[in-house]
């Protein structure tokens, strides 16, 4: 833009024509309008916003939104550590937020600028999030999630005589089961702390264990089944389950429902289902927070207030199939979603859901080291398969 204006100045100077002066004035006006344009930079998970949510916000407020996406908490965290100034709003999961609060990354939310925060948000959810964000100082809960198993009903029936053991994590954590699924495709989320917690829980250990020996047991369990896993990545899971490229996945509730929906829309005969296994799983909460380095803080508050509008957040839930914490929005959430116990779990399911807590740096290092070992052994195995 600036280059264009300078070019016009030069041209004008050279020709001194009346029409060139006109062009210069128009360019300066455009430049001013560009400088006056209010901006907002948001960094959120992929497949996690309504199709018109952002454009309607832009129309309503005149704010231009730059909306980028990521696929894992680790990716977001890396970004926050290396380029913290780029975004005005980011969406970590609350257990990661806890660590980032300790690292002094966020500014406290001024609740006087968010009049419906306490009025609309479910006090039970605020209480749960407050374990990671004491007194809900830094975050606005966005959606909450369970991690379970998404699977292709026919493919699993074929491989397990019409009785696949989908009610248990044994389906994916026992090598004899995983082996049966290797040819149709197993996918794991790229979320090391989640996979470790699920495996600890499956072994009957504390999912938030701080004992090194427990992590050795988990490492043995995951290493034994990882050769049967087609890929470890959260990016394409929705499309790949929906199209039949993989037949079973450890995945997040709403993503699996989006895959179900995609398969049904494309009429490809694939039926996807989602289950929370009987051993239980954990619930997580993704939250919006404003980094200290945000440049467009007023605009960030406008967006948070927009998300607090019951109809706005209900429309997002209706599209992404995740539960929102806004009690005033439930009346606008499609009944099939609001009544689905996998999306809005009732008390008896909730009792099986645990929370992930902040790990000590020592345990975190152990998880990441073991994860790297698993990834490395998989790539070595792939390499030797390719060579044979």
> In the bound complex, what is the minimum distance in angstroms from residue 55's beta carbon to ligand SPD?
19
Residue whose beta carbon is closest to ligand SPD: 284
Comparison of 47 and 299: residue with beta carbon closer to ligand SPD: 47
Closest CB to ligand SPD among 53 and 93? 93
Q: Pick between residue 203 and residue 356 the one whose CB is nearest to ligand SPD.
A: 356
User: To the nearest whole angstrom, how small is the minimum distance from the Cβ of residue 223 to ligand SPD?
Assistant: 23
CB of 128 to ligand SPD, least distance (A): 13
- Whichever of 75 and 154 has its CB closer to ligand SPD, that residue is 75
Please report how close the Cβ of residue 70 comes to ligand SPD at its closest, in angstroms.
9
Interface contacts to ligand SPD, rule CB under 6 A: 45-48, 93, 145, 194, 252, 255, 284, 286
The b-or-e profile of 225-248 (16+ CB within 10 A means b, else e) is bbbbbbbbebeebbebbbebebbb
| Between 155 and 255, CB nearer to ligand SPD | 255
CA 339 to the chain's CA centroid: 22
In order of 152, 194, 229, 309, 319, the CA distances from 181 in angstroms are 11, 21, 9, 44, 30
- The backbone region for 288, taken as left when phi is positive above 0, alpha when psi lies in -120 to 50, beta otherwise, is beta
Nearer to ligand SPD, 12 or 250 (CB): 250
* Conformational region of residue 161, where left means phi above 0, alpha means psi within -120 to 50, and beta covers everything else: left
Burial class (CB in 10 A: 0-12, 13-18, 19+), 170: middle
- CB count, 10 Å around CB of 87? 25
The whole-angstrom separation of Cα 273 and Cα 271 is 7
**How far apart are CB 112 and ligand SPD at their closest, in Å?**
29
- What are the E-state strand segments in the chain? 39-45, 64-70, 89-90, 139-152, 186-188, 231-232, 248-252, 272-275, 281-289, 353-354
Rounded to whole angstroms, the Cα distance separating 243 from 279 reads: 29
Which residue's CB is nearer to ligand SPD, number 27 or number 342?
342
Q: How far is the CB of 179 from ligand SPD (least distance, A)?
A: 28
Minimum gap (Å) between residue 89 Cβ and ligand SPD: 15
């Amino acid at each position: 833009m600036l280059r264009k204006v300078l070019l016009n100045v030069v041209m004008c100077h050279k020709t001194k024509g009346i029409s060139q002066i006109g062009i210069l004035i128009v360019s300066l006006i455009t430049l001013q309008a560009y400088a006056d344009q209010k901006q907002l930079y948001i960094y959120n998970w992929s497949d996690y916003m309504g199709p018109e949510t952002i454009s309607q916000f832009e129309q309503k407020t005149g704010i231009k939104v730059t909306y980028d996406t990521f696929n894992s908490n680790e990716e977001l965290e890396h970004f926050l550590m290396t380029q913290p100034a780029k975004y005005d709003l980011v969406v970590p999961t609350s257990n990661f937020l806890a660590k980032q609060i300790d690292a002094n990354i966020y500014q406290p939310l001024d609740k006087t600028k968010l009049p419906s925060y306490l009025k609309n948000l479910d006090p039970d959810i605020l209480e749960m999030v407050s374990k990671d964000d004491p007194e809900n100082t830094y975050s606005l809960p966005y959606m909450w999630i369970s991690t379970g198993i998404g699977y292709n009903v026919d493919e699993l029936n074929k491989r397990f005589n019409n009785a696949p053991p989908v009610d248990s994590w044994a389906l994916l954590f026992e090598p004899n089961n995983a082996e049966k699924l290797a040819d149709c495709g197993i996918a794991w989320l790229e979320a090391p702390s989640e996979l470790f917690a699920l495996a600890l829980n499956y072994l009957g250990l504390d999912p938030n264990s701080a004992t090194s020996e427990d992590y050795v047991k988990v490492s043995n369990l995951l290493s034994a089944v990882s050769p049967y896993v087609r890929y470890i990545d959260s990016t394409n899971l929705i499309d790949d389950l929906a199209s039949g490229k993989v037949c079973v996945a450890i995945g997040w509730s709403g993503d699996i429902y989006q895959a179900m929906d995609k398969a049904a829309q494309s009429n490809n005969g694939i039926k996807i289902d989602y289950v929370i296994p009987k051993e239980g799983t954990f619930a997580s909460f993704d939250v919006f927070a404003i980094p200290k380095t945000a440049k467009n803080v007023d605009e960030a508050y406008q967006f948070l207030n927009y998300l607090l509008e019951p109809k706005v957040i209900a429309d997002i839930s209706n599209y992404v199939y995740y539960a929102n914490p806004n009690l005033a929005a439930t009346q606008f959430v499609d009944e099939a979603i609001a009544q689905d116990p996998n999306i809005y779990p009732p008390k008896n399911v909730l009792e099986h859901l645990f929370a992930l807590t902040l790990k000590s740096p020592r345990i975190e290092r152990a998880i990441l080291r073991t994860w790297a070992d698993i990834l490395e052994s998989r790539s070595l195995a792939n390499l030797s398969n390719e060579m044979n």
